[in-house]
Amino acid sequence: MYKTVVFDLGAVLLHWQPVDLVATMLPQHAPTPEAAQQLCERIFQGLHPGSTWAEFDRGRVEPDDLAVQLAAQTGVDADDLLDFIHAIPDHLHTKLDTAALLPRLQARGHRLVYLSNMPTPYSERLLQEREFFHYFDDGIFSGLVGLVKPEHAIYAKAESEFGLTPEHTVFVDDNAHNVQTARARGWQAIQFLDAAQCERDLQALGWLEPAHG
């Protein structure tokens, strides 16, 4: 029986700082930290299921349509928003400290899979460019299956596709709602704060040994 670690990607293995992105990429609309925070909230709406951006993650909205819808919600020009949408993958850099955990988990014999809310235009590019994916046996991107976290259906799909059993599964995600759904399904789950905390929690669960050297 495989013991499987299921990783989220954004803010866990990929840097994801949306307020900073808004401030950097839409400076004319976010001249202060407070304005950047407010615009970020209008664009991403907490990534809650049913929000415009979550439907992009789900694969139901294409970038051009997303930009038009967000323009109506934010007052930002659609062309500026489309540039913002297309540029995001450039800023999703690998979190090297988290990525360093992957070979150690693999060396323990654990299977690694990902479960990520990610639209197809981003996932296709990231799969080609981010080296850490070679540690993963498989994974699910929301845009390819039409489901998003924290909906139970995407967890059920992962259970079915990967043969997951709760007692042999640990889930790592930064989002509290996503972690709550995993725990409601009986999975062990870690809410990610940073790589050091994640490492300690994996050790406490007996899934990882302390690093040597």
pLDDT in tens, 83-103: 999 999 999 999 999 999 999
What local confidence, expressed as pLDDT, does residue 211 receive?
80
Q: What does CATH list as the number for 4-14+93-204?
A: 3.40.50.1000
Domain boundary assignment for the chain: 4-14+93-204, 18-91
Contact of 207 with 102, CB cutoff 8 Å: no
What local confidence, expressed as pLDDT, does residue 212 receive?
67
Angle at 121 between CA 119 and CA 126, to 5 degrees: 90
pLDDT at 2 exceeding the cut of 80 = no
- Which helix (H) or strand (E) covers residue 142, if one does? helix 142-145
Residue 210's pLDDT band (boundaries 50, 70, 90)? Answer: confident
What local confidence, expressed as pLDDT, does residue 1 receive?
60
Does residue 177 or residue 213 have the better pLDDT?
177
In DSSP terms, 84 is beta-bridged to: none
